[in-house]
A and B are shown apart, each in its own frame.
Chain A
């Protein structure tokens, strides 16, 4: 480094002018980037706030207190919690299987896990219509037992689980892979049970990766629109999630209410971003610690 600076000295005779153009380039790039983000992201957020409160606080609170909005909030919460819980169990099992064992077809298994990412949400919804709708081979059986999947809550939950399926598995797998198998193998040889190994060795090692996946999964589950829209049938007060409720309000030109309900999701999105940044910071700190 010393040598480089020494060598660079004579070349830098015109340093001040060189620095000046560099400063100009630097700030014009920063300002272009900032302007892009302001137009594409900050303005929409400000607009949501302005529109939501456009008719005053009372109208805002009334829109949130409306029974259909509350029902939609509950259904979104239900679908989100069920997706996160079931995808966490699956993600842990998949990560354990893929990182602790060698077997044939591992790559294929990985591709199947990633499949929901490659499929458009609307097409994903279509899959479930084909499986449980009136074209389904099980349709008569389902009808006979009065089990409604499509155009009902189970369909919404299944579609949400499908689109969020890879998030948690994909967040844990690299962390577990980085940890290797040594600690678990040692514990197993000393006679620890599988559960004990998992709770006392694996889980503490992967907890931030798991948190990261749960945050991503939550964000996607609460906002899922395309897949849920296909399977929901848009029945107000029954199969409406928050995003679908927003769509109905907007299409009825009830803009204040649409943006008021949106503001809840904006608040949750900002919370997600803050948590995500915090978890990322913790993961980096852990890496530094180990090095």
Chain B
């Protein structure tokens, strides 16, 4: 095994390129941040992150991202199911459309969604009549996060559902299980892993999302000021310390999501192996 690496040339060259590039573009900026952040005293850090406006900001980001990820889990599963199991006209279009949030710039999505959901907007007027303010509220932020998160769950579940072994379902049907029971007891357990990873991806994207949310959020401090916006606001006031503090909290959150996801996947693999 050790010899194979020596046969193919280019090891030193590619190693050089990769290390130079990653150091310059990823490690150097990251360490500049860490260097600055570690300069902050523990007291300053605690004072910054426990500031009421800050806490409100990341709880809002966290809550809306969670709500949006749950909605996306439901609709992502439904879309994946429909696309894998059924044939109908317009299926290819539907399949292609799911990726739109990956391709459409977030700022464009943001202004379009805002215009749709303001009080006089095409959709907003219905919600406002029902007494639900959709623009400049947590509802609006959640709608924008649902938009950016749609592809994650659908695209994680789709391939797994496609490769699912049909014989188990047939067996369940022959044993007299109804369609719904079969779905719940046979199919759903197989889909839990991709469902969870799609959920986690949508959730962590939602916490950090900025472009599609700023417009519909309205950015009222203590009301609709999301965490990424707090960073922007603090930077504009040259309050670097506060901006760095929010960034640390956000980095910790996405790290936590990744760790939990990793741990969960390992646990599932172990259980499957046992």
Contacts and interface: CB of A to CB of B under 8 A. Distances in A.
Interface of A: 4, 7-8, 11, 22, 25-26, 29-30, 32-34, 36-37, 39-45, 47-48, 51, 86, 89-90, 93-94, 96-97, 100-103, 109, 112-113, 115-116, 118-124, 126-131, 135-137, 158, 161-162, 165, 181, 184-185, 188-189, 193-194, 197-198, 216, 219-220, 222-226, 229-230, 242-244, 246-247, 250, 255, 258-259, 262, 265-266, 269-270, 272-274, 276-277
B46 interface: no
B174 A223 contact: no
A262 B108 contact: yes
Contact of B108 (A96, A120, A165, A266): A266
A120 B8 contact: no
A128 B116 CA distance: 35
A36 B149 CA distance: 13
A44 B116 contact: yes
Contacts of B29: 124, 127-128, 130-131, 162
Contacts, number: 256
Given A43-B122, A226-B210, A226-B211, A265 B104 contact: yes
B210 A121 contact: yes
B242 to A, nearest CB: 11
Interface in B1-57: 1-2, 4-5, 7-11, 13-15, 17-18, 21-22, 25-30, 32-33, 35-36
Interface string B220-249: 000000001001100100001001100100
30 contacts: A30-B82, A39-B123, A40-B147, A41-B150, A44-B147, A47-B115, A48-B112, A51-B115, A93-B21, A94-B14, A97-B15, A103-B5, A116-B26, A120-B250, A121-B210, A130-B35, A137-B32, A162-B26, A162-B29, A185-B7, A223-B104, A225-B105, A226-B106, A226-B209, A230-B232, A243-B105, A246-B108, A247-B107, A269-B108, A276-B99
Contact of B78 (A32, A112, A158, A225): A32
B96 interface: yes
B98 interface: yes
Interface of B: 1-2, 4-5, 7-11, 13-15, 17-18, 21-22, 25-30, 32-33, 35-36, 75, 78-79, 81-82, 86, 88, 90, 94, 96-109, 111-113, 115-116, 122-123, 146-147, 150, 170, 173-174, 176, 179, 204, 207-211, 215, 228, 231-232, 235, 240, 243-244, 247, 250-251, 254-255, 258
